[in-house]
Chains A and B, each alone.
Chain A
């Protein structure tokens, strides 16, 4: 099903190219080049393209987990973006305030701080869901706005602002930065470029570890069992003696910690400060697509993150090489998500029973589709 959705998106994307007078072959070879470094027409450096893709996919993995885990408990976390921003803010605040501390102390502080902030952000939604029954889709979306405007306040005229007139925060201390995977030594030439241009950083390892922890938690622990039981049947969970409220709150806390970690990694590994780019960041929303496309499994999330990271990175090469707006990438992403939600591929495979009074209805609504229709709320406008 996920592969079919991706295929469907690319076919429709090609049609869009044709209709709008662009060459789909050029478009997709641009994407391939920028995404995974093959079929490059203008002599781009493959290794650099792959490095860029990895930088993009790293936060997608952790936020993908932050969406997939609540999903298993029957909760739809639309707030990974807000949780990510909360994590990024906490990381920056700690990294600026204690900038003098050495790395072995400060780095864990900023990462754990980011996780705590993300957990807090999601925990609010979890607590509200468990106590007064406020729907997590609504609360997490609203908390996204709170996080975004809090960020705006902090770096435009607020205490973290670099200086008057900028929309950038102070940089975090060197001890708060995640080391790159390659030595930042300009004399070292790797794949024809100095090592320091590759931005690939150790956050990738943390993200992969997060995916592994997610899988372990879900499938190998009593708590993971309870999360899945609550997600599948609250009645059965209650019968078993599982506290549904406690499970909801804990699940959201853990999910928020993953999303907050993504924000912290992004600041500590790539940006080293908060900028206005975070206003228009969509990682936490792409994560929803990643979790759905990855069918909520750890391996699936990593693979889907790779796809979305490659699309993201490939968009700019497609634009510069083939002259096709990188917005096509957003169209492709949306088409993938759309076809998953509508379960088009499945319908086609069943032989298009539309319109006919058929007894052979789809046996069950795919859970993703059910949740999607419930959460058909557009993401906030990039500001």
Chain B
């Protein structure tokens, strides 16, 4: 009976928001000592349910039992005292404080004269980190730590407050593959020492890898309770989306044509002024997808920006056909036929307060098609264009006048993809084209990228998801520390790519 004991039981939870039934009679039961995955697409109601469990939102009806006892929560304070801890997707940390100070925040040990007791704080943290095998320096400045360690500090903070039930909201969204692996080791150790974990995610591979049982949500309702060992990716995806989805990318062999884009010995600095690209050279051909694999922060973003014209090259050349476009700015590049799907969808690719129609001409507001003499906007042409894109790229929206902010992540990304593909580019730069996007939209965007390739566009793809790079690319360039260390074929084993990505392995094809 002990392994069947329920740490959390939520029964018939219903929450109505204006216009949306966010949770509709949701049942969730989490056993003590298990890792329970809560999956669903954006807007399925996962976050609402967890915010209810953490006392942030009060449900309209339904009851919650913690360790078998009915509870009533008026706020997170109650949840914390019941041993529930939440690690938010966006960290709640103060960058200028030390790790120790961040963890103690709100419960600082003090000496007799009300002074912060550094020694006791450090000891308490060292105790915790040792017990759970979480290496962490309590004196490091939080802002200096990599994201993975910041997340670890969040977990320690929650443990320090005595949590027995941990809610992790999309914990791997910000992590590199290595950091994800390390996190999973930590989570398994935590479960071994008796903690219960609720793991929210929409990355199915990870869910299958880490969880014991799975609850699937769609449109505010629970559509499936699964046992991880007895299910597979397809089944979960089908439940999540509500129809069968294609997880593999269906594509014919590429028919590469002439070289369209030539990058020669390009170097560039990062925002912080340190060299990020140290002599990158490669060719990109018509009708092929060249994928760039690499751990984030090895120069991929900078490479895309240099080609797209939003970052200055410190050296080298970029040739589009015979034209030297190294010094072109973003607008001239776009006019020359280089389209760019930037990695930061919300901050860079869209103006969130602008309507879909307005966003559909971002960067093209002076083109003859949409403006008269680069001055007066052709509103009719813009609206026609936006309507066409919305239709062709299946953007789910009631109208083209809806602000981009009010679209789901997948639909926001579709607006960008539509705009960039819609202009019939010669070269398409796609940086993290499906990051944070739900499965249905991923499927759609992948299909469009392949279509674009088949239509003769040269596609350069950067993605932190190795699976995505492998399934879409015709060739894979591995980047490490600002260089392309090898060019591989897409059926190269994952282990080899992983090794190359971290600076190991031997290059082939004479890559620089």
Contact = CB atoms under 8 A, between A and B. Distances in A.
Interface in A189-232: 220-223, 225-226, 228-229, 232
B76 A232 contact: no
Given A229-B351, A232-B352, A239 B310 contact: yes
Contact of A223 (B329, B342, B375): B375
B310 A225 contact: no
Contacts of A229: 351, 354, 362
Contact of B334 (A225, A241, A359, A360): A241
B235 interface: no
Interface string B79-107: 00000000000000000000000000000
Interface in B51-81: 51, 56-57, 75-77
Interface string B331-374: 11110000010101001111111100010011101100011001
A33 B453 CA distance: 72
Interface residues of A, number: 21
B13 to A, nearest CB: 16
A122 to B, nearest CB: 22
A220 B379 contact: yes
Given A232-B352, A357-B75, A225 B329 contact: no
Given A239-B330, A241-B329, A225 B358 contact: yes
Interface centre among A221, A226, A241 (most CB of B within 10 A): A241
A229 B375 CA distance: 15
Nearest to A223: B375
Interface residues of B, number: 39
B309 interface: yes
A221 B370 CA distance: 10
B330 A238 contact: yes
A240 B362 CA distance: 6
A188 interface: no
Majority-rule SS of A interface residues: helix
A359 B56 contact: yes
Contacts of A97: none
B362 to A, nearest CB: 5
Nearest to A238: B310
B352 A240 contact: no
Interface string B293-329: 0000000000000001110000000000000000001
A360 B17 CA distance: 12
B349 A221 contact: no
A357 B377 contact: no
Contacts of B347: 233, 235-236
A240 B375 contact: no
Contacts of B353: 232
B1 interface: no
B348 A239 contact: yes
Contacts of B374: 222
B436 to A, nearest CB: 17
A285 B371 CA distance: 36
A120 to B, nearest CB: 24
A228 to B, nearest CB: 7
Contacts of B371: 221-222
Contact of B344 (A225, A226, A228, A235): A235
A241 B331 contact: yes
B365 A233 contact: no
B377 A220 contact: yes
B376 interface: yes
A236 B351 contact: yes
A163 B56 CA distance: 72
A229 B57 CA distance: 35
Interface centre among B77, B366, B371, B379 (most CB of A within 10 A): B366
A242 B362 CA distance: 9
A12 B370 CA distance: 50
Interface in B21-49: none
A226 B329 CA distance: 16
A209 B353 CA distance: 28
Contacts of A236: 347-351, 362
Contact of A222 (B75, B309, B332, B377): B377
A258 B66 CA distance: 64
Interface in A320-337: none
Interface in A235-249: 235-242
Contacts of B309: 241
A225 B363 contact: no
Nearest to B342: A239
B379 to A, nearest CB: 7
A261 B365 CA distance: 29
A233 to B, nearest CB: 5
B76 A226 contact: no
A221 B349 CA distance: 21
B332 to A, nearest CB: 7
A226 B361 CA distance: 11
A239 B352 CA distance: 14
B310 to A, nearest CB: 6
A346 to B, nearest CB: 16
Given A221-B377, A225-B358, A239-B362, 10 more contacts: A222-B370, A222-B371, A222-B374, A223-B375, A239-B342, A239-B349, A241-B332, A242-B363, A357-B76, A359-B57
7 contacts: A220-B376, A221-B377, A222-B375, A233-B348, A236-B349, A236-B350, A241-B334
Interface of A: 220-223, 225-226, 228-229, 232-233, 235-242, 357, 359-360
